[in-house]
Amino acid sequence: MENTIFSILPPIIAIVMVLLTRRVLLSLGAGIVAGALILTSFAPLAALQELFNSFAVTFWDEGFNAYNVYIILFLFLLGIITAFVSLSGGSLAFAEWASKRIKSRRGAKMLTVMLGMLIFIDDYFNALAVGQVARPITDRYRVSRAKLAYFIDSTAAPVCVISPVSSWGAAIIGIVATILAGQSYVQMSALQAFIWMAPMNFYVVATLAIVFFIAIRDVDFGAMKKHERLAIETGELYDANKTIPGEMKEEFPVHSHGRVIDLLLPILLLLAGTIGAMLYTGYQNAGQIFDIWLIFENTDVPLSLLIGGLLGAISSVLLYVRQFKQNKSANATWMAKGISEGIRSMSGAVFILIFAWSLSYLIDALQTGTYLADLVTAWNLPTAVLPVLLYVLAGFMAFSTGTSWGSFGILLPIAGNIMAQAAPELLLPALAAVLAGAVFGDHCSPISDTTILSSTGAGSNHMDHVLTQLPYALTAAAIGAVGYIVIGVTGSLWMALTSVIVILVILFTIWSKQGSVVEKQVNTQ
């Protein structure tokens, strides 16, 4: 049943169940079982073998699966860092220090957005690092964890996908280079093409514009309004009855020995270690050629995250050990509790990731992405609608499979072949449409690893993040679709970009006039 309509059933089952039940592991498990059964034509013993294989490949895939294992270890290390910056009083000290300089909820939100824009090296790294720095400040000003997760998710992949100096940019430039080599219409380098495609990514343009507007103005809608109102009125930043990745169950001692350096040094070492390791591994894997684009194309992101995580975790523990003499509550017993609590706090996110990877393995074996991509070549449609069609298809593929990289990895070469033959003048818009759709679908998908890590970094319940972000993502997606329709019909980037900007201005004007219950509440305080 590979490469057939049945191949889309497992992700659909998982996604529908997770939206109906909000029980992520149960829903992913149902999709995994369905995938194993469909892959083996409902043969019970063979399905059991595929179930085992789908989980085993997380750790061993024709050899040690360093990529997944290093990500898991990094998450545990991040939990340890979180535990010890709290245990040492670093989070409290940093929040107090920041509150003297950041005087409002708007300032706390803008800090988060700017950090998300600045840390563009990798989306995984962005999602987890920004959450660590911003969370004490947004908590202080009663910004809900769901809103924090939205800011993190909407400034991670969207910035990485248009930044040439990132793990995303390097990979995309490599794919685009092979596409341009096979045609003669576009006479430019892959890097030049990538830069030209950035303003054609209308979903990213709309998403970042909406993020900045929401950060500046407390205008919320959908489920987000409920979360923000609750945070402001009661100080309840998340539902205590739900599973929160990174949440500490142990009540750590409160003391006055914490310093800002107890939070900043582990985070700075995490940043420096990760970026340094990315440059080093990329340099080594590129044959020791110092070419920044080549380095980022060949960098080992999971290993770099692990190295940065080790530096951050070790420094956070050592900073706590330094308090043993002057802090009566600091001792080896609490140190052991900090390590165990940090690991435990990330176990929920790790299990979700393992289940998501298992489902991705089965989806790949069923050739779900190939089936969806083949639909494009089977339809005989006017060239003007191809950019928006590729945009929608990439979005649906990424939503169904939970991976933007897998989606654009499949669709970019297909889009290149189609457009080179049918409408070479629309080649770059079509490639940009694939990237935009892949990011959009990945944003909305509850089985996406970047969505999972964004909720983890923010300390938000995963389904709360998915459901509160969805209205904003759908709004940006609709605006992006208009842009691709305009560019498909006119062939003009400037007309398409102008149409997107005009819609955004109209939308922001309407939102500003309507206001929200949350904004009115904030203004009275």
What per-residue string of b and e applies to 361-382 under the rule 16 or more CB within 10 Å gives b? bbbbbbbbbebbbeebeeeeee
Q: Where are the alpha helices (DSSP H) in 235-346?
A: 261-285, 292-298, 301-321, 332-345
Return the pLDDT at 11.
82
Return the pLDDT at 167.
65
Residue, of 376 and 222, whose pLDDT is higher: 222
Judge whether residue 203 has pLDDT over 80.
Answer: yes
Q: Where are the alpha helices (DSSP H) in 423-492?
A: 427-444, 449-458, 462-490
Percentage of the chain modeled with pLDDT above 70: 93
- Give the tens place of pLDDT for each residue, 262-272: 988 998 898 89
* Gap between the Cα atoms of 127 and 143, Å rounded: 17
Residue, of 414 and 274, whose pLDDT is higher: 274
In this prediction, residues 490-509 reach a mean pLDDT of 95
In this prediction, residues 6-13 reach a mean pLDDT of 86
Tokens of 363: 């989806």
In this prediction, residues 154-179 reach a mean pLDDT of 80
Q: Which of these, 353, 128, 335, lies nearest to 246 by C-alpha position?
A: 128
Judge whether residue 518 has pLDDT over 50.
Answer: no
Return the pLDDT at 523.
46
Return the pLDDT at 373.
66
Judge whether residue 496 has pLDDT over 90.
Answer: yes
Judge whether residue 246 has pLDDT over 70.
Answer: no
- Give the tens place of pLDDT for each residue, 337-355: 999 988 988 888 788 778 8
Return the pLDDT at 515.
61
- Tell me the average pLDDT of the chain: 85
In this prediction, residues 55-67 reach a mean pLDDT of 86
Residue, of 315 and 405, whose pLDDT is higher: 315
Judge whether residue 165 has pLDDT over 70.
Answer: no
Judge whether residue 361 has pLDDT over 60.
Answer: yes
Judge whether residue 325 has pLDDT over 80.
Answer: yes
